[in-house]
Homo-oligomer: A and B are copies of this chain.
Amino acid sequence: MIENNAAYLQTLGQQAKQASYALAGLTGQQKQALLSAIAGSLTKNSATILAANRKDVVAARDNGLNDAMIDRLLLDESRLQGVISDIDNVINLVDPVGTELESQVLDNGLRLSRRRVPLGVIGVIYEARPNVTVDIAVLALKTGNAVILRGGKETLQSNLALSEAIRAAVVEQGLPADSVQLIQSPDRTLVSGLLKLDQFVDMIVPRGGQNLQRLCAEQATIPVILGGIGICHLYADKDADIAKSIEVIANAKVQRPTVCNALDTVLVHESIADQLLPQLYTHLAASGVSFYGCQQAQTIAEKQGVAISIATEETYGQEWLSLTLGIKVVRDIATAIDHIRAYSSGHSEGILTDNIHASAHFVNAVDSAAVYVNASTRFTDGGQFGLGAEVAVSTQKLHARGPMGLEALTTYKWIGVGEYTARS
């Protein structure tokens, strides 16, 4: 138990800020050595880590968590091995810190450049899966940042064991243990306190559902990167290739329905609805998809004997994360865009069309992190985009948008070098 939350968080913040100064000065080689040491320490301590995780699993069973949730928090030998070998990928990524983004010499001789530097201290609030503890710590350290972690209470024992193994490696490399700190109490008021630690923490990344995102937006005095909620749309235009469109829609819905870039609603131009929808129903119903649709979509479904519920404002505004799909027949592209503007979470949308004007208009008019032409929404992913790693998927517009790679953990400073130059 923590006696005084405010004092505890102040100390955490101060320690993190102090550690960040040491990390900001590391060379790429030193950071690579640090990450290797972390991989080594996790391997060495794997028995302890797995034992801690078993405690979390037992507690979760006692608390009546369902099998899917228990599976999410479970670490076994092979999962832990996967987490550790992912560190090798991060070691091999190009370190963005220190790059000069641009430079110029002013007329008075001042050499001015913008240099990429670590953000400083990053706070990450996450749920369930304990691998996030390692993933985030490693990405933060790779970019020279200190990190304060706040995991879910269901994985507290696992997170403690993982963070202790990481801290041991940090110390072994001659760096401050507090480069990586885990909030050690499940007390929820600590989250609110963390969100107001703007004196020490430079960015908050919440990795969790709508409620966590909203809490952060409302309470934080620190810049927050909102994201990870995907209410994703595909619009099949009047000039869409119907057979190919069905393949893309099916891919976006079925390939991995539980993730944020999976399709939630398909919008179909009324002139192709009679052709496209019957085939789509047959194809998707065979994959176990269930449907919510507008009146017109329902009429077509019923002719085929496919079950469909009537869509509402509420269902259109829902991120399904399951084999469920909303369907709406629209009068034209403008109506499709209006629907997207009303219901999208700004994650991923796409148009299916052979028409160059429709595609250009859609790309310009739809204001989401990722906008596709004739492609599945499932591509919005750090790995697919070649970022090497993914911190989160941002659905807000400042600093980072869409999949966030290492660069999103950095900022820049302006550096001006003169010859005792004064402003005239």
Contacts and interface: CB of A to CB of B under 8 A. Distances in A.
A203 B223 CA distance: 12
A423 B376 CA distance: 7
A365 B117 CA distance: 10
A218 B221 contact: yes
How many copies of this chain sit in the oligomeric assembly? 2
A148 interface: no
B120 A374 contact: no
A370 B413 contact: yes
Nearest to A214: B221
Interface in A376-424: 376, 378-380, 384-386, 396-399, 401-403, 411-423
A375 interface: yes
A270 interface: no
A100 to B, nearest CB: 12
A416 B379 contact: yes
Interface in A294-317: none
A351 to B, nearest CB: 10
Contacts of A191: none
A244 B198 CA distance: 38
A386 B417 contact: no
A21 interface: yes
A421 B223 contact: no
Size bracket of the A interface: 35 or more
A82 interface: no
A25 B367 CA distance: 12
A89 B370 CA distance: 33
B413 A375 contact: no
Interface in A230-249: 241, 244-245, 247-248
A251 interface: yes
Interface of A: 21, 24-25, 104, 106, 110, 112, 117, 119-120, 198, 202-203, 217-218, 221, 223-224, 241, 244-245, 247-248, 250-252, 255, 341, 350, 352, 359, 363-365, 367-376, 378-380, 384-386, 396-399, 401-403, 411-423
